[in-house]
Structure 1
């Protein structure tokens, strides 16, 4: 619940932040875009910057501090101050940093679960993120139309609900040890740099996130007038509903496949990325085939996401080696966020230069062909690498690796 409400608060504001700053606060378009970009960048990269603080405070306390900070900053935004651009930049970046702190610490909490519960925990997190990101824009859109000045206060209220749930989260408020959680997060080793296996896995998975960006970040620009705004909203709502409805049974099926001697992590990742690639190809035909094919593509896309999203997150903890759990999830978040951002930028750049109505003409569909190819190559590479036994993480809280049958995950 904490993750769902905090995501709802963030996505109630983020899609409309630029418009709100221009219409309600009088910023120029360039300044508003800079503020929005600062918030996104801080949210993506903030986890890495805050790793020492998270270690010192402990995981549960870091989640609480993150949500408390978001409540305060959203409250300041909603108080109606008149600030220069740099003032809005600072506040937007603080929102991103506080929420990044809570997210990174919460992922590290789930990674500390017993091995047979870890995949299920990340599956529930994926459900919460999708539920919040579906409800948030609806709340924000209605408030922007009714009472635009209340937009940041709605996020503050939702983060306050998340903060109230923090005491019910597992774990102690402060971890034992001199570093505020070093033993629990695996940070007791002398080598703090990421190992080769972790780096290779993290970079390989970037291919999946580039393909993901073509759907969630580029699709509205690609479809243009072919699918109306309301119908496109239905497409993304379908994704959120399917995640909430199917994540638990799909995770149960994934666990059974992971336990089979001829299945395991590699083949499962290959299958998930192959389905993702097929979905991205179908999206490429959406401009000419219409809403029906786009809906079918979103069903396939969601089925793949239900598998690879929690699976990748689980593997970050399994592959981290001597790197602390908190640092591992922070570094993976930065790498995958960067891959999504680059994929969205390049995809949008090519899409807006469309030179023909068909998927085989011009440059408009190139991001989708490229995204599908990257997804398939990523699955093949992870399938090959999944034959090796993973390096056992340090820290004493990871359980038995073979309990989740992963041999070599966001």
Structure 2
């Protein structure tokens, strides 16, 4: 009995570099969530920037990240995983310090763009390194551990940021603390690069941008999924942008609490939902997810009671899990094996919806004001619902394809 219990409680035997990536992911996400979810509040409340401009600044980060989403993996294939991760993490730490010292609006636009670039370069490279050093039979466990680390950092980060003064008169301290965390992680990666000199067998990307575009518009099922995902990604973007301004401008503690509820809901609901949705097709799950996204958004504008806001966040998070986790599963189902990487890379284009929606949210706040929550979030709900017909059409074509096989 003791042997069985010991076996269950023992940590997986991942490669030391894999553990470095997983633990580093926890640290970097903790640092990220200590500051950047509060950036909209910081820019509006302490820098006096109007909501529409704040929305545009936040949107620039998402846009830069989307447009450079293909760069990280290709760059790491040519230069190696470690140099790309080290340089992007070091640059990221400087960006955070820049946010603390910047005074002009144009500087915040520039820093926001570089922030998005650093994230889009670092994230795919870290995932590639994790896959490089992990045997195929352990990869699912390793990536699950990484996802857990992401959400654990998302739970701890906002609380730590709030404790350090995010959204208050001492709001510069979280930027410096996060910068230190990122710089330390960069130094740890240098140590790993020196200690572990594995020969990483990396394939250079052979699919050009034109070929990717041809794949997207040839495969109608993938195209409908991608179009629906534009609106899904847009719905999710309001968590860090529109919602942070709407609730955080006068209820900073409530926003931080909701952010923690979001992360904890992912940790609690992820596996039960995955088990439940095995009974349904992936596109059915996506249709349910976009509806739940919209209903959760509407709840944020209708309710003031913290309990009902928390319930709205649980509904929103359920949609998040269904759309993002099941979305990755769907790509694996519809993509030809020899083009799977191209499909996953092309799917990043959907996150253009994040940039546009963050901007739209800022405009709606400027036009309608903070006292028109039900109208504002009803509009955002309807935009989330637009994904439904795209997923429904894609499901119809997917079923037809499967019947022909």
Q: After TM superposition, is the score higher than 0.5?
A: yes
Could you say if the C-alpha distance between residues 70 and 173 of structure 1 is closer, same or farther in structure 2, counting changes exceeding 3 Å?
farther
- Listed one character per residue, the Cα deviations across residues 120-175 of structure 1 (whole Å, up to 9, x for unaligned) are 6655544433333443344344155686665443223322454437959xx98553
Aligned counterparts, 1:189-268, within 5 A: 192-194=211-213, 195-196=215-216, 197=219, 198-221=222-245, 228-251=251-274, 253=275, 257-258=277-278, 263-268=280-285
Could you say if the C-alpha distance between residues 119 and 306 of structure 1 is closer, same or farther in structure 2, counting changes exceeding 3 Å?
farther
TM-score computed with the length of structure 1 as normaliser: 0.68
Shift of the alpha carbon at 1:339? 0.2
Are 1:342 and 2:356 matched, yes or no? yes
Counterpart secondary structure, 2:386? helix
Could you say if the C-alpha distance between residues 237 and 366 of structure 1 is closer, same or farther in structure 2, counting changes exceeding 3 Å?
same
Contact 2:31–2:178 (CA under 8 A) maintained in structure 1: yes
Structure 2: distance between partners of 1:88 and 1:53: 26
Could you tell me which of 163, 175, 182 is aligned with 2:200? 175
Are 1:380 and 2:380 matched, yes or no? no
- Listed one character per residue, the Cα deviations across residues 283-339 of structure 1 (whole Å, up to 9, x for unaligned) are 44325xx333222121122223223222223444565656573x6555433431x20
Are 1:280 and 2:300 matched, yes or no? no
Structure 1: distance between partners of 2:44 and 2:366: 24
RMSD, aligned CA: 4.7
Shift of the alpha carbon at 1:103? 0.6
Contact 1:222–1:352 (CA under 8 A) maintained in structure 2: no
Structure 1: distance between partners of 2:334 and 2:198: 26
Aligned counterparts, 1:90-129, within 5 A: 93-108=113-128, 124-129=145-150
Structure 2: distance between partners of 1:29 and 1:353: 15
**Mean alpha-carbon deviation: is it higher for 236-245 or for 305-314?**
305-314
More helix by share: 2
Shift of the alpha carbon at 1:56? 0.8
Contact 1:347–1:367 (CA under 8 A) maintained in structure 2: no
Are 1:298 and 2:313 matched, yes or no? yes
5+ long unaligned stretches in structure 2: 1-22
- Listed one character per residue, the Cα deviations across residues 8-33 of structure 1 (whole Å, up to 9, x for unaligned) are 22333334557878999xx8859x96
Counterpart of 2:74 in structure 1 is 52
Structure 2: distance between partners of 1:220 and 1:82: 21
Structure 2: distance between partners of 1:9 and 1:356: 29
- Listed one character per residue, the Cα deviations across residues 204-248 of structure 1 (whole Å, up to 9, x for unaligned) are 2112122323454323555689x9442333222211122233334
Structure 2: distance between partners of 1:206 and 1:75: 28
Contact 2:63–2:355 (CA under 8 A) maintained in structure 1: no
Could you say if the C-alpha distance between residues 118 and 376 of structure 1 is closer, same or farther in structure 2, counting changes exceeding 3 Å?
farther
Contact 1:277–1:375 (CA under 8 A) maintained in structure 2: no
Aligned counterparts, 1:14-93, within 5 A: 14-15=36-37, 29=49, 39-59=61-81, 62-71=84-93, 73=94, 77=98, 93=113
TM-score computed with the length of structure 2 as normaliser: 0.68
5+ long unaligned stretches in structure 1: 391-410
Q: How many residues align?
A: 365
